[in-house]
Structure 1
């Protein structure tokens, strides 16, 4: 993933509570994690009291349930660290790891992937959980744990098996979806086609899970566990949103070749801010090409409003400065005419305003790029026109 352009302190605040660094990678605990931790305590506390009377836990069952939530967080952290460390082997920089309501995610900075490397990084996560589950199983079999510690060890082993098995399912946003993505990517040469295929595979998995975990129990007429059903609905909803997001992002990426400053810009000319409206009307009859106002240093600083220029009385055009009929551009709102694709989009995202002057290698204005033209090129959808006059 691309790194955010937001200031570091703002990004850190939104990420959650900093837990420190592991192998140089910042780890954060999102505030949403406390929601799933609270749910775990409320649901599993009473359940432990009922199902394990031999331990005579009493109110301590809630603390054991909290331990379950913490062990689950540790399991997710191991999973995400495996992603990050395997990516580090390929020189893919990791921005941060965040533990959140849905488990967690590893956010990468810009990198160049390949089908094989993408699979290795994706599968490292589930593999780490299988290894951790196997290690805990060995300790259990050697009777190292007893009582509550044995209970927690069982939970840790089961949680890692569940995380590992769940994540190898072949559909995005699960790690197994990278297998589908990479296979289609390798066959077609298009990562975007692979991502779309893996996203649809993820949707199929969601439908299958809903039928299996909700539909079948309901049709069987047996007792309904509402907590179990709620968890299924929430998880499947998250998976559906993740699969849909992957499909939409891939479709947008597949149109990036259409995003070009030179190709999307309207023709424009630059005039010094000392020019008059008469100069503008002579250079741009009827408002075309667009006229960009440049400062003494030659850098774009504003755009002429054709309607305002045409409204100036003829006898006053030679006396009216061009700055009187223009509006300012945002600071630094100009781009090289050779800018295109993801680099152009990321650069424009850092600028304010909806208009950007386009300049050539000599700094001369050649076009005026409007934000809506970029959005239309990416989405393929024309802006909605208001029915109001």
Structure 2
């Protein structure tokens, strides 16, 4: 499976992140490979589950069964690494910068930097992973006869073939977050012209796959009177939970991207009036009488927004003192640079707001005049599909 994740930051910060993720294994084809700490959990699980099976298949092997089972975990790790390298190297052929490969509890994923994709190229990169596993399974089948007289070698080679076939077939199932989900995504993308709509469709396909897998491998056998294998049921629940979570995340992210074009500073702003920072409370009260629904934003001599008048505090100032009390005394300071143009929208607006402290931003027009106040809460609600709230 692959994951799009923005990169960036200093080299030292990147190295620190890699160390936190797990053990750096070096670079393969120029791509950093990280062995996540969670991989050791799945390795221990494989050793505990498969070592009794090794003893049953190879009588008299004794404690070496643990080593054989661990070797199986390592072969699975190498199979996943080749799978992810296929993603990374095929992406590089299209000029997509690859951040890293992470091998973890669920197998692994390839993280990419920002890039421009097309439906066809996205599909090629996604299916390169399963194709690599089919190739490994074929290679294992070819060398399998060489271990005819070696029970350990035969067992590991046979397991290598089966695990690569399983990884390949499982990943081509047509639903996200599996690689085969890109087939559904690309088809809908081509038909509608929207990658986001394709992602939503592929995410729902992934949810349907989870339901079918659990019904077919857990519910149906129970209905037929078969006694379920608890280990197998546990694995199905874990895998099903992982797939459902990944599918749901894909749907949520796609819906967020669909809403981005409608997220504009001008569309979400609360109307506001700009007054000089030297204004008095009386002048603010007069402006409020003319526009009772408007916020009041104080501006510096340069016209730059500086603060937002606290309307509750405004009413607490006695009328006799309003003319001599500066409006700045009852105002909340805006963070440096906390103002945006009316036409700022989409990803550009979100990225800018993420870099500015605070949760209030003045909105200005093309003449740098204050026209509104944008609240972080309104932006978040717009992104989550809820009606933007007003103060």
TM-score by length of 2: 0.88
Counterpart position of 2:128:
124
Q: Give per-residue Cα distances to partners, 1:156-214, cap 9 Å, x unaligned.
A: 22211111110001111111111011111111222222112212211221122112211
Secondary structure in structure 1 of the residue aligned to 2:179:
coil
When structure 1 is superposed on structure 2, of 312-321 and 257-266 the one drifting more is 312-321
Q: CA RMSD in A?
A: 2.6
When structure 1 is superposed on structure 2, of 184-193 and 309-318 the one drifting more is 309-318
1:343 and 2:358 matched: no
When structure 1 is superposed on structure 2, of 14-23 and 241-250 the one drifting more is 14-23
* In 2: Cα distance, 1:381 partner to 1:5 partner: 31
Which of 175, 180, 199 pairs up with 2:179? Answer: 175
Counterpart position of 2:308:
303
Q: Give per-residue Cα distances to partners, 1:99-134, cap 9 Å, x unaligned.
A: 121111112222222111111111111111111222
Secondary structure in structure 2 of the residue aligned to 1:179:
helix
Counterpart position of 2:272:
268
Counterpart position of 1:327:
332
CA contact (8 A) 2:7 2:99 kept: no
* In 1: Cα distance, 2:225 partner to 2:78 partner: 38
Secondary structure in structure 2 of the residue aligned to 1:357:
strand
Task: Return 5+ residue gaps in structure 2 as ranges.
Answer: none
CA contact (8 A) 2:377 2:389 kept: no
* In 2: Cα distance, 1:73 partner to 1:15 partner: 17
Counterpart position of 2:119:
115
Secondary structure in structure 1 of the residue aligned to 2:158:
helix
* In 2: Cα distance, 1:338 partner to 1:247 partner: 28
Counterpart position of 1:3:
6
Counterpart position of 2:214:
210
Secondary structure in structure 1 of the residue aligned to 2:371:
strand
1:356 and 2:365 matched: no
CA contact (8 A) 1:337 1:358 kept: yes
The structural deviation recorded for 1:40 is 1.1
1:258 and 2:262 matched: yes
Matches within 5 A, 1:24-173: 24-53=30-59, 56-143=60-147, 146-173=150-177
TM-score by length of 1: 0.89
* In 1: Cα distance, 2:264 partner to 2:360 partner: 14
Secondary structure in structure 2 of the residue aligned to 1:255:
helix
1:316 and 2:321 matched: yes
Secondary structure in structure 2 of the residue aligned to 1:124:
helix
Secondary structure in structure 1 of the residue aligned to 2:284:
helix
Counterpart position of 1:198:
202
* In 2: Cα distance, 1:246 partner to 1:63 partner: 38
* In 1: Cα distance, 2:189 partner to 2:293 partner: 45
* In 1: Cα distance, 2:73 partner to 2:189 partner: 37
The structural deviation recorded for 1:243 is 1.7
Q: Give per-residue Cα distances to partners, 1:8-41, cap 9 Å, x unaligned.
A: 3564455333322223322222222222112111
Counterpart position of 2:386:
381
The structural deviation recorded for 1:325 is 0.7
Task: Return 5+ residue gaps in structure 1 as ranges.
Answer: none
The structural deviation recorded for 1:346 is 2.8
1:224 and 2:228 matched: yes
CA contact (8 A) 2:308 2:332 kept: yes
Change (3 A) 1:72 1:295: farther
